[in-house]
Structure 1
């Protein structure tokens, strides 16, 4: 009896024909025996594959050659996935079989929307096989052919996957850097996605629009900031990328996105490169608001050190309001210690303390009481004496009320600490540090000025207020700056109103802000 393997036409119970089985078993002899015995060479199995598909997939060059010589259909396609033998050869990076099939009539441009299969070159580009890509281009495939679901060109795909040599090859073959895919992304977007600086550089050199936005209005710089590709950010910025172009969903610029995601080195680079530290979106959301919202304390520090407006309002709210709303005590305290005004933080009649208490009511976890305590701490410090302001029924009422009393107790203690070489109490210095003329009076006294600058030792005995020295030093710095401006402005005033007493001249200046004082110095108003 003839062995079942050599039956010519009857399939097995799962429709694996003898010719397919022989091919899978890599037996050229059995394949030849079956074909010569009349087996149907183009019969398909349950997946719609012919024996040629199987031979190509398994890289059985001798069997492929034999089947092709015997008339196997080189353009046969699977039923389910629509792949031809040429697709398999390309997927396997087998240039020899690609040549053999193409020279035997395989269609290099075959694709089908019915089963979502693209031209074979797509596989070659996806794995970065330059030789096979080159072969397809030599055999009539357009270097800018649109491939895949998003209609990307070979350059798009090669760039996004970081294939430096393939990108070089495509550019040498005049690939169009300006073409867009279905997401409106050009080659520069895909180059940035790869994270490869050389690819980005080479595509920029070809004159691509560096500020193009995709369907989400994401520019290449926006993507680089999102992915934290610092070297690419620098390259794009140096070549004219705009840091203030907004994307669609939340109107964020690249610099705002970098702030949100904590990209501190990128932020430093932008600011040092001339980006406005108070840059706002169309909704006037500043970098400091964004950093406060997303609890990026290192970026908050950097922005404050570089002149960010700590009391800038957007839609009625300051960065301090945002920090409290985000329940971030560290950022909240840092902002206050750098001049954030508790009263300016009020919004629509709601105090900053009321907001903090609302956060506790809404979320209730104990860690949310920390931000409330920060606000209580500085409210008591700056506006003491105050009435009881923790409402009955507030979550953690007893704890917060006791904390308020503890703050009051430390304030009383500060009133009893006298600054060395003066009759001024520690608390009086702290209170007056936020008042223009009163504090300047202290700064004019060298003994008191020196003691104030070393006030940290006086604070050590106060557990709650031991860390407020940054606030005092901030006010000292502001006071010294204002005093120097006062002196220059006073000279201008004295020139035109010499008989006006010094005290009156300084009283007039006390009504002016720093910008107005500078205008006095620079103008002939007096």
Structure 2
């Protein structure tokens, strides 16, 4: 009953991911270890929190699930619930997790509110002491989330915070500026660069934000900050951003960047 597969997922974790309460109850009755983890260190309770399956979470807790366990990404069940907007589960898990700080809990919710563009909730979470540099399982911070999804007002609010890490990196070493650029949010690109975002930061693939430009308006935005840009930086294929855009047939973008 506790045998795991290639990803070290036990039958209990499989049942939780399938959202099947009766099967969860069955494997627990047969002696499943409730706090067993998969290859990423996630417990069944963490998966239930991520999915928002409250009944299953309650059943796991009744059978001894430890809400304070951290996975390999230093995430707890309540942090998964917060990052994915499962507020009922956050309330439930607070009764059982006395290790995760209020700042971390509010910070997890802040990631979700930032993604959704809920400015009022963002302000409220910050006022409650949210860690503005908290991250989810992909290492996305509130600023990265807001920048990726084009939440301009949220980005502006986050940039007001004195302790904001504007160059925080996600799993692939991408920053908020990489995400705003790739998703074609020129106003956010302007805000980020104006507040000191590293315009020359290379991600895991060796690409600066300049390589991710998809539209002309964003290209024009970058050109306004031409004095900050190192146009000679090359990717692993030995191409500069301008050369890269030409190769990708984005000739108008290359032309705009050459106006530097």
**TM-score, length-scaled by structure 2:** 0.58
In 2, Cα distance between the equivalents of 1:221 and 1:52?
36
From 132, 137, 147, give the equivalent of 2:94.
137
From 20, 43, 55, give the equivalent of 1:96.
55
Q: Is the counterpart of residue 232 in structure 1 residue 188 in structure 2?
A: yes
- Report the count of equivalent residues: 238
From 241, 247, 254, give the equivalent of 2:195.
241
From 175, 178, 187, give the equivalent of 2:130.
175
Q: Could you say what secondary structure the match of 2:21 adopts?
A: coil
Residue 105 of structure 1 deviates from its aligned partner by 4.1
CA RMSD of aligned residues (A): 5.3
In 2, Cα distance between the equivalents of 1:156 and 1:297?
39
Report the counterpart of residue 268 of structure 1 in structure 2.
Answer: 220
Distance 1:79 1:233, change over 3 A: closer
Report the counterpart of residue 86 of structure 1 in structure 2.
Answer: 45
In 1, Cα distance between the equivalents of 2:139 and 2:35?
35
Q: Is the counterpart of residue 204 in structure 1 residue 159 in structure 2?
A: yes
Superposed, 1:246-265 pairs within 5 Å as 246-249=199-202, 257=210, 261=213, 263-265=215-217
Residue 224 of structure 1 deviates from its aligned partner by 1.8
Report the counterpart of residue 298 of structure 1 in structure 2.
Answer: 252
Distance 1:195 1:134, change over 3 A: farther
Equivalent residues of 1:213, 1:219 under 8 A apart = yes
Report the counterpart of residue 191 of structure 1 in structure 2.
Answer: 146
In 1, Cα distance between the equivalents of 2:184 and 2:13?
47
Residue 132 of structure 1 deviates from its aligned partner by 1.0
* Structure 2 unaligned spans of 5+: 234-239
Report the counterpart of residue 368 of structure 1 in structure 2.
Answer: none
Ranked by relative contact order (alpha carbons within 8 Å, sequence separation 6 or more), the top structure is 2
From 20, 23, 33, give the equivalent of 1:58.
20
Distance 1:111 1:221, change over 3 A: closer
Equivalent residues of 2:13, 2:44 under 8 A apart = yes
Q: Could you say what secondary structure the match of 1:213 adopts?
A: coil
Distance 1:231 1:137, change over 3 A: farther
In 1, Cα distance between the equivalents of 2:134 and 2:221?
31
Larger radius of gyration: 1
From 55, 66, 79, give the equivalent of 1:107.
66
Residue 83 of structure 1 deviates from its aligned partner by 5.8
In 1, Cα distance between the equivalents of 2:12 and 2:175?
49
Residue 298 of structure 1 deviates from its aligned partner by 3.5
* Structure 1 unaligned spans of 5+: 1-42, 147-152, 310-526
**TM-score, length-scaled by structure 1:** 0.34
